[in-house]
């Protein structure tokens, strides 16, 4: 990588760290949202049809 400036390599390392932090966070938010939505649907359907 002789054509790349040193600053770009440092930025890439920082970007990797940011992705490593936010991907698990996004997965957790997705799971929380999905579980909450499913429970809400079950409550509504149980009241309507149960």
- DSSP assignment of 1-50 equals -TTS-HHHHHHHHHHHHHHHHHHHHHHHHHHHHHHHHHHHHHHHHHHHH-
- pLDDT, tens digit, 9 for 90 and up, residues 6-45: 677 778 888 888 889 889 999 999 999 999 999 999 999 9
* pLDDT at residue 14 in the model: 87
- pLDDT band, residue 3 (cuts 50/70/90): low
Calculate the alpha carbon distances from 30 to 6, 18, 43 in Å: 36, 18, 20
Higher pLDDT residue, 50 or 34?
Answer: 34
* pLDDT at residue 1 in the model: 53
Specify the pTM. Answer: 0.62
Calculate the alpha carbon distances from 24 to 21, 34, 37 in Å: 6, 15, 20
């Amino acid at each position: 990588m002789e054509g790349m400036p040193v600053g770009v390599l440092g930025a890439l390392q920082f970007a990797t760290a940011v992705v490593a932090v936010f991907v698990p966070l996004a997965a957790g938010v997705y799971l929380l949202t999905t579980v909450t939505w499913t429970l809400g649907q079950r409550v509504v359907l149980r009241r309507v049809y149960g």
